[in-house]
Amino acid sequence: MKKYNPVMKVKGYATAQTVRLSEKTMAKTEEAGNFFTAFADVILFITCISREAISRKFEFREFFHQCFQIGYKTLPLISITGAIMGLVLTIQSRPVLVDFGAVSMLPGMVAVSLIREMGPVITALICAGKIGSGMGAELGSMKVTEQIDAMEVSSTNPIRFLVVTRVLAATLMIPLLILYADAIGLIGSWAGANIKGDVTLSLFFAQAFSSVDFMDFFPAVIKSFFFGAVIGLVGTYKGYHAGRGTESVGKAANSAVVLASLLVIIVDMIAVQVTDMLL
């Protein structure tokens, strides 16, 4: 009969505990390695895009096609969003201004709010949902069906044809969509002001733009280009690096929307801090 040895039991427990600790350490090391690998992939991806964007063989036809897809086909959604933004902001703000006898300040307040923050951020988030998910799903399906591999075999650069054109089109068109949303938002605000008041469109716009100066407009336009670049980069990256399974298309589209929306908020926070330091 084997004699009971408490020392061996303690040693065995210590060995098992060491194994578990080493497994946790390996898991953390693997997670850190995956993070740095993904970060390196992103840097390499951006480098390839920057190099191909200034190539002499730029795909102008595909670029204009993507501008049409991103810009024109998003106008109905942006029109509804912009009108609702202006209408809701006016309806919510008017009672407070009435209490203080400052109804005449309503157009200027709405204009500054729309141009500085609400117009760019909300429009960019809407575009992240529609455009970012579309890019992720489209490129992800091309990855799954091996169309990207077929382009590489046929001596067609997929980064130049698929990625660069979409990123540049998003960078160019999303600022234009934001300006359009601001204009529609002001019209919606004018409609909201006329629900319980009576003001002409020309007077409303005159009062609105009398409160807006260059430093309200310029930072919003600059950061809208960054919004477009972020949405284009995230959507194309997630789709281009999608897995091989069918379910990876949905994962690419979903992660593109979530990450693009988060980065839009982060970029806006940085832009606000930079603008505050410069003013």
DSSP per-residue codes, 220-265: HHHHHHHHHHHHHHHHHHHHHT--SSTHHHHHHHHHHHHHHHHHHH
How far apart are the two ends of the chain, measured CA to CA in Å?
86
Q: Do residue 262 and residue 212 come from a single domain? A: yes
pLDDT recorded at residue 211: 85
H or E segment to which residue 52 belongs: helix 6-53
Smallest CA-to-CA distance from 187 within 104, 79, 273, 76 is with 79
Q: What pTM was estimated for this model as a whole? A: 0.84
Q: Answer whether residue 235 shows pLDDT above 90.
A: yes
Q: Do residue 160 and residue 205 come from a single domain? A: yes
If one compares 22 and 275, the residue with the highest pLDDT of the two is: 275
Query: Would you state the torsion angle of the CA atoms of residues 212, 215, 220, 223, taken in this order, to the nearest 10 degrees?
Result: 180
Q: Do residue 16 and residue 132 come from a single domain? A: no
Between CA 198 and CA 204, with CA 199 as vertex, the angle to 5 degrees is 155
**pLDDT tens digits, 115-153:** 999 999 999 999 999 999 999 999 999 888 888 888 888
Confidence tier at 24 by pLDDT (50, 70, 90): low
Q: Do residue 129 and residue 243 come from a single domain? A: yes
Of 54, 80, 97, which residue is a domain's last?
A: 54
Q: Do residue 37 and residue 146 come from a single domain? A: no
Residues in the chain: 279
Q: Do residue 105 and residue 23 come from a single domain? A: no
- Overall average pLDDT of the 2-20 stretch: 51
Q: What percent of the chain has pLDDT above 70?
A: 87
Q: Distance of CA 75 to CAs 68, 79, 84, 193, 233, Å?
A: 10, 6, 14, 24, 21
Q: Answer whether residue 7 shows pLDDT above 90.
A: no
Of 11, 28, 54, which residue is a domain's last?
A: 54
Show the domain range for 47: 1-54
Q: Do residue 247 and residue 111 come from a single domain? A: yes
Count: domains in the chain: 2
Q: Are 235 and 133 in contact (CB under 8 A)?
A: yes
Q: Do residue 267 and residue 151 come from a single domain? A: yes
**The tokens of 69 are what?**
């897809």
Contacts of 228 (CB under 8 A, 6+ apart): 124, 127, 170, 171, 172, 173, 174, 175
Q: Do residue 24 and residue 81 come from a single domain? A: no
Of 11, 35, 54, which residue is a domain's last?
A: 54
CA atoms of 87 and 91, how far apart (whole Å): 6
- Overall average pLDDT of the 66-92 stretch: 92
Q: Do residue 191 and residue 98 come from a single domain? A: yes
pLDDT recorded at residue 215: 85
**pLDDT tens digits, 201-223:** 898 999 898 888 888 889 999 99
Q: Do residue 3 and residue 133 come from a single domain? A: no
Smallest CA-to-CA distance from 237 within 146, 166, 155, 145 is with 166
Q: Do residue 260 and residue 228 come from a single domain? A: yes
CA atoms within 13 A on the CB side of 234: 25
pLDDT recorded at residue 246: 78
Q: Mean of the per-residue pLDDT values for the chain?
A: 85
pLDDT recorded at residue 120: 94
